[in-house]
């Protein structure tokens, strides 16, 4: 005896195998999905797909969603659980029960599609109902499958056809008999007002109920079993539709007999009642799994220890093999695949039911081909090839033809393709191959965003006029102008340029610019590390934290550091968030005062109001201008992930800069820093909760520098990203340092409220900095802070106390501390 899962054909119903015929030879697992509406259930019956989707409209959450059936019910083996990485799910579902066409077919009905000649497809979840078809011991081959799987052909085709026609005729006679009973046959009593004559062809179905359904894990409930029938509560049903429903239930293989009755409830409403008798086979004597005929390549992935669970957990159950035991086998075998993300791993069919020596034929679902579909603004496929070449998308996918398809690979593909920044919407559609149930075809649907963009961000500053008050003539326009091209030569290469000026009317006063070019897959399109070439030209001005006042708050003229130069490097993507880079930097560094003049030395104001002479040097060169070239390396290991918007996991960063003796004074130096941060989740949160979990953050950062370095490149202690509660550089400017921090984050009304403690020290290295700015500005060299805050979106509202002075202040910060 052989058990084959077939695929439903949604176009028509041609014949029915008698599930109570003398020679019972096939048990077919019928896949089904839930109908979304009466019209689609009864007429359209189109193939359903549940895509993985990511849209630029909403990237705030990640959730699992399930397709809802008519009246909110879920069909057994409904259209599968799709992942919406952007809280967007599009679900097209298919009927719960679909009838095989022609000779039944062992088609590809995994996850909700298939049928007809046996070569359908679909996408759904991972439950099943069973179809019993009668044959001579060979597979129930569909018309199309005849050319694809010669292993299922039988030399006695004429005998098989004759037996099939005889079985179908018997089943048809049984359905016709049931129809006669419904339409006033032997069971109809003209004097009984509870029943009605359906000779008019239609009736209003107010209720559908069942008797005799077994109950157990993996067994379809009454709601799930009826979710895809034509006759649904609240709709007008016809005699033809009722006959089709009865045929579908008879074909399911779940039951040895199915009876149906229509009962009058008054006011033109009727109740439809089905009565079921379960099919039974020999008790289980042995069990093993083997690859299906279509996917017979090598050893199955499921371990032997998991297969042995069938004999220890399912076989000992008393009584013959029925629906409960078959569901138990399915739960063990397919459950193992589903828990590990192999959503297309399922039992194709069974053999040996007559003897009890059961063999489960398993399909694991290998990727067959991957295609790219470009769609327009309305979601319709475009006739052209799109602006982004398909190779740019395909090289980002973690799965290749021949690999087992895994749901986690689908999520990674969705994330990585969207991360290219070239698309507004990305969807992943995996589906069984129409001609080979062991293969999975994957479509990547993308909606492109504009490849070129130009933005201007205006900032208006009100400057005091001659009288000290702002006037219209003194309102100074400033801001940033940005241009970006995301897809040069259709290869995903990107270029951008930005210009920043505090005063567009006089841009020469403080003009900043940055031009970048990025060439992904620079070494090879098949480079597993996705090595990218990055080139940038820059000019920027920043207030130096080395030459700032200490805790006494004395008046110190600011020193600005201008950096103009170029950087070229290679970046390797080690994992999702981890990367390594090596770059060469050539730059000119100029120290300037607040008037824009070159400033070779810093200074401070004396008590008499005069500026102190001979302050610490600002550059290596005595002229206030340095030119240098050095190597810069960066290694980031980031294993963090987000739980309801809160990072959890570990992150380690190491940065090193090595002077090459190129530039002013031939500087040789080495500057390195390392940090380790741990986000420890203290308690799990329910999957249905949107509140972040409580998290303990532990952080440590240290660094050291040796050789010929200018003061502006030394480490500073204090500030929003060092020791909170102090201004930038307020604690020290040093060659070596150590920072530690601890922060406890607790969810309150869906937000993180946190308390923290931080400490930093210069390890006594400030005296080794040329000019010793720490001593010159009377800084402590070390300090601690503690405080509390609340995170509101990207804003951190914090109260922090300076443990050196014992004072506290309120701070508004942007971005993450760690």
CATH 3.40.50.150 is right for the domain spanning 366-448 = no
Question: How confident is residue 640, by pLDDT bands cut at 50, 70 and 90?
Answer: very high
Q: Are strands 202-211 and 269-278 parallel, antiparallel or unpaired?
A: parallel
* Cβ within 8 Å of residue 319, ≥6 positions away: 283
Indicate if the pLDDT at residue 24 is higher than 60.
no
pLDDT tens readout for residues 271-321: 988 888 888 888 999 999 999 875 566 789 999 999 999 999 888 888 888
Q: How confident is the model at residue 106 (pLDDT cuts 50, 70, 90)?
A: very low
State which of 76-80, 575-579, 733-737 shows the largest mean pLDDT: 733-737
**pLDDT at position 521:** 94
Q: Is the pLDDT of residue 815 over 90?
A: no
Largest CA distance in the chain: 119
Helix (H, G, I), strand (E, B) or coil at 488: strand
In the block, residue with structure tokens 């439950």: 127
Each residue of 218-245: pLDDT tens digit? Answer: 787 888 888 888 899 999 988 888 888 8
Two tokens, residue 603: 């200074």
* pLDDT > 90? residue 665: no
What is the rounded CA–CA span in Å between residue 750 and residue 793? 11
Residue 794's pLDDT band (boundaries 50, 70, 90)? confident
Task: Read off the pLDDT of residues 463-522 as tens digits, 9 standing for 90 and up.
Answer: 566 666 655 555 667 788 999 999 999 999 999 999 988 777 766 667 889 999 999 999
The least confident of 130-144, 359-373, 494-508, 621-635 is 130-144
- Residue 444: CB atoms within 10 Å: 24
Question: pLDDT tens-digit profile of 746-763?
Answer: 999 878 899 999 999 999
CA dihedral (330, 331, 335, 338) in degrees, to 10, reads 70
Among the residues of 91-227, which ranges form H helices?
157-182, 222-226
Rounded Cα distance, 686 and 63, in Å: 13
> Could you tell me the residue ranges of all domains in the chain?
286-363, 366-448, 520-814
Q: At what angle do helices 157-182 and 239-251 cross, to 10 degrees?
A: 130
pLDDT in tens, 341-380: 999 999 988 888 888 999 999 999 999 999 999 999 888 9
DSSP codes, 45-80: -PPP---EEEETTB-S--EEE----GGG---TTPSP
Using alpha carbons only, what angle is made at residue 794 by residues 789 and 796, rounded to the nearest 5 degrees?
20
* pLDDT at residue 741, as a whole number: 97
Model confidence at 194: pLDDT above 60: no
Look at residue 672 in the predicted model and tell me its pLDDT.
97
Q: How much is the pLDDT for 486?
A: 93
Phi, psi at 457, each rounded to 5°: -115, 115
The pLDDT-based confidence of 183 (bands split at 50, 70, 90) is very low
Evaluated on CA atoms 370, 374, 378, 383, the torsion sign reads negative
What pLDDT was estimated at residue 41? 35
Which tokens go with 739? Answer: 């920072």
- Domain 366-448 shares a fold with domain 520-814: no
Residue of 711 and 21 predicted with greater confidence = 711
What is 520-814's CATH number?
A: 2.40.160.50
Q: How confident is the model at residue 31 (pLDDT cuts 50, 70, 90)?
A: very low
Range picked from 57-61, 377-381, 535-539 for highest mean pLDDT:
535-539
pLDDT number for residue 793: 83
Q: Beta-carbon neighbour count of residue 572 at 10 Å?
A: 17
User: Taking residues 124-142, what's their average pLDDT?
Assistant: 34
Q: How confident is the model at residue 334 (pLDDT cuts 50, 70, 90)?
A: very high
Which pLDDT band, with edges at 50, 70 and 90, does 249 fall under? confident
Looking at per-residue pLDDT, the higher value among 433 and 107 belongs to 433
- What pLDDT is recorded for position 199? 54
Cβ-based burial of 150 (10 A; exposed 0-12, middle 13-18, buried ≥19): exposed
Q: What is the average pLDDT across 555-584?
A: 94
What pLDDT, on a 0 to 100 scale, did the predictor assign at position 85? Answer: 30
**Residue 608 binned pLDDT confidence (cut-offs 50, 70, 90):** confident
pLDDT of residue 255: 79
The residue with tokens 């009927």 is 95
Q: pLDDT band for 712, please (50, 70, 90 cuts).
A: very high
Q: Are 95 and 69 in contact (CB under 8 A)?
A: no
Residues 413, 444 contacting (CB under 8 angstroms): yes
Please list the residues that pair with 629 across neighbouring strands. Answer: 586, 662
pLDDT above 80 (res 420): yes
Q: Are 718 and 727 in contact (CB under 8 A)?
A: yes
**Please, what is the average pLDDT of the chain?**
77
pLDDT value of position 463: 59
Separation of alpha carbons 103 and 498, rounded Å: 67
Closest CA to 784 of 768, 762, 761, 766: 761
What are the structure tokens assigned to 538, written together? 């820059």
pLDDT score, position 761: 97
Nearest to 428, CA basis, from 450, 448, 412? 412
Greatest mean pLDDT range, 255-259, 297-301, 336-340, 382-386:
336-340
- Residue corresponding to tokens 């010159």: 776
Closest CA to 592 of 627, 545, 621, 557: 557
CA distance 262 to 327: 30
**pLDDT, position 470:** 59
CA distances from 775 to 715, 764, 770, 771, 772 (A): 15, 11, 11, 9, 6
Per cent of the chain over pLDDT 90 is 44
pLDDT attached to residue 19:
36
What class does CATH assign to 286-363? alpha beta
């Amino acid at each position: 005896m052989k058990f084959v899962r077939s695929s439903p054909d949604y176009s028509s119903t041609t014949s029915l195998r008698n599930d109570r015929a003398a020679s019972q030879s096939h048990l077919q697992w019928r896949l089904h999905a839930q109908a979304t509406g009466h019209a689609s259930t009864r007429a359209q019956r189109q193939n359903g797909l549940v895509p993985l989707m990511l849209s630029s409209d909403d990237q705030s959450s990640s959730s699992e969603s399930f397709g809802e059936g008519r009246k909110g019910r879920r069909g057994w083996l409904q259209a599968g659980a799709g992942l919406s990485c952007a809280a967007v799910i599009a679900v097209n579902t298919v009927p719960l029960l679909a009838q095989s066409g022609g000779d039944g077919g062992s088609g590809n009905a995994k996850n909700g599609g298939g049928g007809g000649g046996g070569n359908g497809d679909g996408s759904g979840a991972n439950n099943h109902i069973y179809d019993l078809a009668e044959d001579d011991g060979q597979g129930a081959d569909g018309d199309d499958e005849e050319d694809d799987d010669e292993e299922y052909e039988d030399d006695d085709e004429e005998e098989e056809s004759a037996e099939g026609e005889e079985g179908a005729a018997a089943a048809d006679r049984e359905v016709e008999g049931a129809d006669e009973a419904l339409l006033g046959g032997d069971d109809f009593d003209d004097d009984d007002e509870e029943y009605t004559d359906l000779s008019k062809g239609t009736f209003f179905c107010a209720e559908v109920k069942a008797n005799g359904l077994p109950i157990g894990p993996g067994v379809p409930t009454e709601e799930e079993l009826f979710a895809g029938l034509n006759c649904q509560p609240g709709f007008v049903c016809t005699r033809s539709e009722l006959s089709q429903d009865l045929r579908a239930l008879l074909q399911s293989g779940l039951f040895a007999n199915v009876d149906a009755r229509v009962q009058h409830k008054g006011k033109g409403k009727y109740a439809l009642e089905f009565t079921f008798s379960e099919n039974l086979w020999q008790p289980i004597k042995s069990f093993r799994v083997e690859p299906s005929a279509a996917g017979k390549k090598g050893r199955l992935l499921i371990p032997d220890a998991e297969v042995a669970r069938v004999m220890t957990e399912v076989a000992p159950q008393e009584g013959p093999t029925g629906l409960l035991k078959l569901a138990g086998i399915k739960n063990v075998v397919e459950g193992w695949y589903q828990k590990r993300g192999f959503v297309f791993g399922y039992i194709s069919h069974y053999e040996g039911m007559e003897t009890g020596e059961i063999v489960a034929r398993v399909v694991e679902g290998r990727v067959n081909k991957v295609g790219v579909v470009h769609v327009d603004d309305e979601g319709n496929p475009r006739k052209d090839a799109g602006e982004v070449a398909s190779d740019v998308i395909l090289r980002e996918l973690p799965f290749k033809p021949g690999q087992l398809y895994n749901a986690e690979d689908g999520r990674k593909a969705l994330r990585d393709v969207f991360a290219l920044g070239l698309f507004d919407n990305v969807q992943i559609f995996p589906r069984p191959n129409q001609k080979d149930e062991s293969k999975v075809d994957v479509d990547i649907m993308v909606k492109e965003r504009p490849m070129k963009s130009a933005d201007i961000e205006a900032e208006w500053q009100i400057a005091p006029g001659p009288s000290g008050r702002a006037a219209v003539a003194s309102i100074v326009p400033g801001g940033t102008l940005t241009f970006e091209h995301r897809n040069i030569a259709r290869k995903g290469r990107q270029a951008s340029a930005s210009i920043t000026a505090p005063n567009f009317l006089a841009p020469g006063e403080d003009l900043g610019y940055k031009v970048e070019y990025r060439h992904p897959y620079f070494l090879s399109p098949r480079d597993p590390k996705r090595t990218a070439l990055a080139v940038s030209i820059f000019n920027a001005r920043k207030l130096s934290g080395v030459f700032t006042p200490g805790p006494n708050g004395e008046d110190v003229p600011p020193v600005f550091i201008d950096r103009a130069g170029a950087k070229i490097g290679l970046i390797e993507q080690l994992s999702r968030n981890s990367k390594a880079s090596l770059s060469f930097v050539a730059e000119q560094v100029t120290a300037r005062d607040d008037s824009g003049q070159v400033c070779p030395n810093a200074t401070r104001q004396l008590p008499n109001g005069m500026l102190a002479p001979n302050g610490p040097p600002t550059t290596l060169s005595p002229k206030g201008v340095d030119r240098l070239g050095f190597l810069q390396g960066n290694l980031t290991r980031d294993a963090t992930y987000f739980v309801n918007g809160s990072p959890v996991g570990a992150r380690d960063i190491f940065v090193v800069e090595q002077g090459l003796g190129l530039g002013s004074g031939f500087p040789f130096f080495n500057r390195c820093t390392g940090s380790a941060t741990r986000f420890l989740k203290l308690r799990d949160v329910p999957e249905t909760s949107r509140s972040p979990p409580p998290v303990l953050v532990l952080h440590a950062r240290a660094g050291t520098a040796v050789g010929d370095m200018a003061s502006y490149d030394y480490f500073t202690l204090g500030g929003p990203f060092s020791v909170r509660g102090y201004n930038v550089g307020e604690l020290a400017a040093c060659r070596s340092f150590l920072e530690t921090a601890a922060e406890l984050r607790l969810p309150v009304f869906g937000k993180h409220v946190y308390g923290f403690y931080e400490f930093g020290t210069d390890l006594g290295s400030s005296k080794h900095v040329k000019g010793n700015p720490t001593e010159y500005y009377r800084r402590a060299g070390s300090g601690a802070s503690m405080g509390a805050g609340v995170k509101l979106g990207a804003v951190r509202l914090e109260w922090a106390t300076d443990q050196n002075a014992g004072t506290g202040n309120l701070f508004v910060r942007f971005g993450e501390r760690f």
